[in-house]
Each structure stands twice: as C-alpha cells, then as structure tokens.
C-alpha cells in the first residue's frame, strides 16, 4: 500500500505518521498545491488530506485508481472523515481527539515512586500551581516560569517521561499528561469541568483539588487507587493511537494491513 499524507492536519495525523510506515510506503505532502504532481509521481492507494485539498481532480483519480480517501473535515467525496466536532455522528466519522500514545510504555522502569509532579504550560493555571506549592510537597515543571523553589524549569519530552515514571501522582492541569501517567503506572488527578466516569479522579476548583489530593494520598485508599489505575490502563489498551489507526483502516477494509498492525498491538500490550 502507498499513502500520501498531508501534514499538519490535526491531533491524530501523528498517529498515521507513526504507524503507517510499518505497513506501507508513505509520502508527506507539505504543499497542497502540489497534489496533482504527487498523484502522478507516487500513485497512492490511500490519500489522507485536508477537506479543502479534495476536489474534482482528486475524485477523478480516486474513481479511476480505486484509491480511498480519508478527509480531515467533513467531505462528501471521502470514504472516511475525521472531525473535531463530537456532536457529528455517522458511520464514516472518526473524531480528531487526543488518545493514549502506546510508545510511552517503552519508557517504563521499575523505580521507587514518590513525587507529586505537575507540568505547567498555561499561564491561566499558574494560581493552581502556586496553591499546590504552598500546601503540598510537589515538583513543578513546564514553560510557565514560577518564582518558587518547587519550580524546576522546562523539560524535554524524554525528561518528562522519566519524571512521570518516578512520580506517584501527577496533577494534570490540562496538558493530557494523564494518558502518559496511566501507561507508566502513575496515578493522575485531572483538572476538568467535564463530567467523566468514576474511574478518573478529577477536580475543577481549589476545594475539589484538595479533596482529590487528600483522598489519593491517604494510605487507607491505596488499594482502591491501584485498582482504579489497573482499570484505567485497560482502557488505554483498548482506546489508543494505534487502535485509532487500526479502526480507520478496518473501516476502509485494508484487512492485510489491519492484521499486521493488530500483531504490533498485541506485542506492545501483552
């Protein structure tokens, strides 16, 4: 299989870029005005494009060469659409939202987990981080500087994995690090106004933050916390970046490619 992928389309485009090279040849399209040349030179079987790039020429090529199309954004020509609006429901609709990244598992090491870690990337969450620094034994990282000895500066992605791996708890202030935490056996407390199931421990104000942290730190609750973490990890194993790619290809009936990716999934999660 040969695939042309237009870059910088959405959250999930990195998932295709991560896994499709295992099962296909890919060409990255940086300039959408060059799509016609790319079609002639590369002769793809699958196109992953912005909906604005898809036109009558793309449709004619797809019809003639039985090429399938994944569109970022709704499109009547595409075989499958990836959209941000989760209120849209259709058989050919997938959602462009953050999912657990399975490669995180490769950074897991057996260490003594002791820290409460926070990654601060939004100035609007600075007051929450300052409150935590004053009232709990936390370590803060990120690109929003703080005048506090508990702030330890910016970190690389690799450093972040190492920090999460040695943390007992992370307080996620909206960075989606809770997915990485779960896969590294670190319990997350999540800042959100959304209603979620009881598997997650979340907060949306200082009162609920204190309540959540006190609950998770209480030794009496540790067996419950571990059971919740096991359940969260199981969820990550059935809903992640690789499963997203598999589900998209399954919808398009690329059965051989799906079988190969399922084997990779099995190797990672077994």
pLDDT tens-digit series, residues 90-113:
889 999 999 999 999 999 988 899
Rounded to a whole number of angstroms, the distance between the first and last alpha carbons of the chain is: 27
* Per-residue pLDDT at 128 exceeds 70: yes
* Per-residue pLDDT at 16 exceeds 80: yes
pLDDT at 157: 87
Average pLDDT (132-157) is: 93
The structure's pTM equals: 0.88
pLDDT at 175: 79
Hey, what CATH class is 2-99+240-269 in? Answer: alpha beta
Q: Report the distance separating Cα 99 and Cα 92, nearest Å.
A: 19
Average pLDDT (260-264) is: 96
pLDDT at 198: 65
Contact present, 186 and 169 (Cβ < 8 Å)? yes
Q: Which two tokens stand for residue 81?
A: 């659409």
Average pLDDT (118-131) is: 92
Q: Report the distance separating Cα 187 and Cα 262, nearest Å.
A: 28
Contact present, 99 and 241 (Cβ < 8 Å)? yes
Q: Report the distance separating Cα 137 and Cα 155, nearest Å.
A: 19
- CATH classification for the domain delimited by 102-238, as one of 3.10.180.10, 3.20.20.140, 3.40.50.2000, 3.40.50.300: 3.40.50.2000
192, 190, 196, 158: which is closest to 177 by C-alpha?
A: 190
Q: Which range scores top for mean pLDDT: 109-113, 198-202, 219-223?
A: 219-223
Residue 83's DSSP bridge partners are 95
Q: Could you tell me where the DSSP H helices lie in the chain?
A: 13-19, 35-42, 56-65, 126-135, 157-165, 177-183, 206-217, 222-238, 241-251, 255-269
Confidence of residue 68 (pLDDT cuts 50, 70, 90): very high
pLDDT at 196: 59
pLDDT at 132: 93
Phi/psi-derived region of residue 139, left when phi > 0, alpha when psi is between -120 and 50, beta in every other case: beta
Lowest mean pLDDT among 125-129, 194-198, 258-262: 194-198
2, 91, 81, 106: which is closest to 46 by C-alpha?
A: 2
Average pLDDT (5-10) is: 93
């Amino acid at each position: 299989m040969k695939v042309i992928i237009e870059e910088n389309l959405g959250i999930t485009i990195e998932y295709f870029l991560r896994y499709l090279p295992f099962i296909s040849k890919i060409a990255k399209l940086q300039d959408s005005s060059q799509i016609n040349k790319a079609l002639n030179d590369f002769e793809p079987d699958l196109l992953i494009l912005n909906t604005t790039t898809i036109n009558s020429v793309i449709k004619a090529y797809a019809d003639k060469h039985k090429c399938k199309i994944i569109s970022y954004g709704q499109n009547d020509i595409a075989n499958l659409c990836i959209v941000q609006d989760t209120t849209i429901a259709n058989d050919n609709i997938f959602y462009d939202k953050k999912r657990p990244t399975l490669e995180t598992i490769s950074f897991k090491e057996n260490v003594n987990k002791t820290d409460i870690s926070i990654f601060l990337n939004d100035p609007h969450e600075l007051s929450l981080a300052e409150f935590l620094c004053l009232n709990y034994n936390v370590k803060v990282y990120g690109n929003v500087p703080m005048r506090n000895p508990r702030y330890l500066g910016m970190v690389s992605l690799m450093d972040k994995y190492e920090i999460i791996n040695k943390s007992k708890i992370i307080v996620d202030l909206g960075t989606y690090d809770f997915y990485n935490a779960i896969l590294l056996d670190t319990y997350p407390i999540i800042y959100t106004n959304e209603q979620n199931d009881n598997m997650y421990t979340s907060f949306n104000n200082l009162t609920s933050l204190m309540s959540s942290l006190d609950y998770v730190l209480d030794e009496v609750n540790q067996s419950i916390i571990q059971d919740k973490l096991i359940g969260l990890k199981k969820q990550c194993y059935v809903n992640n970046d690789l499963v997203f790619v598999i589900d998209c290809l399954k919808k398009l009936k690329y059965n051989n490619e799906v079988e190969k990716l399922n084997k990779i999934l099995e190797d990672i999660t077994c």
